[in-house]
Structures are given as C-alpha cells and as structure tokens.
Chain A
Amino acid sequence: MKQEEHTTVLSQDAVNLLNNASNIIAITSHEFKTPLTAISAAVELLAARLSNNQQMDAFYEKNLSRITTEIFRLNSMLDEMLTINSIMSGRMSLNKQLTDVVQLLSTLRANYFADPEDTRTFELSITGTPRDIYADQNQLTRIFMNLVGNAFKFSREKLPLVELNFETEKVIIRIIDDGIGIPAEDLQYLFQPFFRASNVDEIAGTGLGLSIVKTFVTEHNGTITVDSIVGEGSIFTLSFPYHADSR
C-alpha cells in the first residue's frame, strides 16, 4: 500500500494564535520581573534594617538569603522560558563577530557568580595558540553560563575546570566537574527540552537549559557531547570551527 505524504499547512488563524501565545509568554515573563524586583528589594531593606538595629541573627540571615537565592533562581527560569520562546517563534537573532574565547571566559571567571552568595570561581586551562571564532557573544556567554553554572551546581569537592584546546581547525572546550554524574540511561535525552536527569530531583532547574545550549551550539556550527559516570562527575565537550563559513 502506498504511504500517503501529509503536509501540514497552518491556517492564518492558527498562525495568529501561535504568535499571540508566544507574545503572551514574552509579556508575562517580563511582567513577572518587576514584582520579583520589588520582593528582592524588600528583602534587602529588611536585612539592612535588622542589621542597623543590631537584630540580625543567623536564622534571619539564612532565611533572607534563601529568599534572595530563590528570587534569582526564578528569574533564571523566566530567562530560560523567554529564550526558548524566542527560539520556537523564530525571533532569535544572531550577531556573529570575531570573538576571543579566552577573554570571554576570563571575564566570565572574574564576574562569575552562580548564586548571589557564591564567590567560588572555576579553573581555566589553555593549550595551543589561541584564535578567535565567529560567534554571537550573547549566545556564547549563555552557553558557558549554563554549563559552568551546572558544573558549580553539581560539583562537590573540586572547583569546576574549563579546558580550552586550540587545534588546527577548531577549538575544543571541555567543562569538567566532580559532581553526582548523569545516569547512562538519561544521556540520550539530556538535550531535549524539559528533560531532567533522574537523580536531580533535589536540585532546582527547568530542564530547558541544556536544550537551549544545544540550539545555540548548533547555530554556531559547533558540536556538544557529554561523558559522565554516576558518582564521579561529568565532562561536557564543545567544539567550534574557526573558519568563516560559520559566520
């Protein structure tokens, strides 16, 4: 029996509906940020008043800090929703330019914070002769923020390590942590939207971060792979070509 080919053509009404839904997600995500700012500012005002009146103790400090951490975590989730919404609605624009990856990572290391109270940094190792790549700096920053952020979230004793190896045709970047690792059966689904590994229930996340990373890496003609052993850690390996075809 001949298999019929089906082509789905969306009506104008359906296209309008999808556009409206996308606009609603974008508008409400932005609108959430102002009350989040008001809550964050109120927490800081409370903390300042308690300190000034010499009433701040470990209990207040811990719980006020926890509220602030959760506010910024919620904000990260909103940013991920906004990004995935832009990708799905085709509104993500690329602005590729020659980018110094070492400088970008060094700046990130100097300014990096996973949580407002987290002052840890990551180790950076470079081999080969550094060369620029054509990249959208916003997207490249988001890629590193996500992968290094995950390395911090899951690492235990050692600081996360970022290795840059400048090969002849491409730069290989490895982000290494000694975290809880990812179960082998989960690895194939890791870059799918909303997927979360089976051993991270206690750790906050939307399951959108790695799918966004994968989309951004693909936009740069790059690749991303992961090697992981439960209980020992994970290594995310990125590669980006130098050549101008990637513009």
Chain B
Amino acid sequence: MQYTILLIEDKTGLRDTLQSLLELHHYQVITAANGQEGIQLATAHLPNLVISDIYMPVLNGYQLLEAFQAHEKLRNIPVIILSARSAREEITLALEKGAAAYINKPFLFANLNANIRELLHTSGTATLNH
C-alpha cells in the first residue's frame, strides 16, 4: 500500500532532500515549487496528504489553505505546514485556515513522519494506489 504525498516547497535543496527521505519511507511523492503549482497538482492527482511551506512566491501557504478549503475535492486532504516561524499568531492562523498540523523548521524527519502516519491513519482519505 503506497500513499501519495504532495510536497510544496520553493527551496530546491530542501525539496529534493525531503522528497528522497519520503521516498525512502515508501511514500510516492509529487512536488511543486509554489502554492499555485501545488493546487494544480493536487486537483490532478488528489494526493492522500500535502506538506507545504508557507512563505513561497506566486501563491503562499495561507492562500493554498484557503484554496483547499474552498475546493470540494481538496477540502478533506490533510495539510501539514512546515515553517520557520513559530509565533503563536502564525500557528493559530494556519490552523484556523485548515492546516492539520504545524511543524517548525528545523525538525527531525521522525517527527514529520509521525505526523504523516497519524494523519493518514485518521483522515480516512487514504486510497490504495498500488
């Protein structure tokens, strides 16, 4: 059973490394460099889970969360936000806009993976890809 994760991050180095780590843990990964690309890929592939940065060009993480909430098919896909900002206001805003989890950068992959597993287990949106 393989889950599809959409990873949205504008920094190429971090995006590539996280993709490799996720693939090493047997997730199928598709990637986008900003929120707009992310929405296009999410609509086309309906991933089981999304991991997204907040501060990105073209369309940021908050706008992405709003777009997901407004879209019937994307609304129930859990979104994990990765951010360097740890201010209470930013975390609250992301959660209010529909984020399922908020993880501060830098983080240990084990922590991210624990959140992924829990959300995939509880979201009920998991689909069998293989």
Q: Which residues of A contact B (CB under 8 A)?
A: 30-31, 33-42, 44-45, 48-49, 52, 68, 71-72, 75, 79, 95, 116, 138
Query: What is the bound-complex CA distance between A44 and B21, given in angstroms?
Result: 8
Q: What are the 3 A-B residue pairs with the smallest beta carbon separation, nearest first?
A: A33-B84, A38-B14, A37-B106
Given A41-B18, A45-B17, check contact A36 B105 (CB 8 Å): yes
29 A–B contacts from the bound complex (CB under 8 Å) = A30-B85, A31-B84, A33-B105, A34-B11, A34-B14, A34-B105, A35-B14, A36-B105, A36-B106, A37-B105, A38-B11, A38-B14, A38-B17, A39-B106, A40-B106, A40-B107, A41-B18, A41-B109, A42-B17, A44-B21, A45-B17, A45-B20, A45-B21, A48-B24, A49-B24, A72-B106, A75-B106, A79-B86, A116-B108
Q: How many residues of B contact A (CB 8 A)?
A: 18
Chain A residues with Cβ under 8 A from B11's Cβ? 34, 38
**With A45-B21, A48-B24, A52-B24 given, is the CB distance from A37 to B107 under 8 Å?**
yes
Main secondary structure of the interface of A (DSSP, over half): helix
* B22-64 interface with A by 8 A CB criterion: 24
Chain A proximity mask over B56-95: 1 for CB below 8 Å, otherwise 0? 0000000000000000000000000010111010000000
Q: What residues of chain B have their CB less than 8 Å away from a CB belonging to chain A?
A: 11, 13-14, 17-18, 20-21, 24, 82, 84-86, 88, 105-109
With a cutoff of 8 Å between Cβ atoms, the chain A residues found around residue B106 in the complex are 33, 36-37, 39-40, 71-72, 75
Contact present for B84 and A30 (CB under 8 Å): yes
Using Cβ atoms and an 8 Å threshold, which residues of chain A touch B84? 30-31, 33-34, 37
Contact B109 A44 (CB under 8 A): yes
CB proximity of A161 to chain B, nearest CB, Å: 28
In the bound complex, CA of A30 to CA of B106 (Å): 11
Residues of the B chain whose Cβ atoms lie less than 8 Å from the Cβ of A79 = 86
- Whether A44 pairs with B108 at a CB distance below 8 angstroms is yes
Task: Give Cα A246–Cα B84 distance, bound, in whole angstroms.
Answer: 32
Contacts of B109 in A (CB 8 A): 41, 44
Which chain B positions have C-beta within 8 A of A44? 21, 108-109
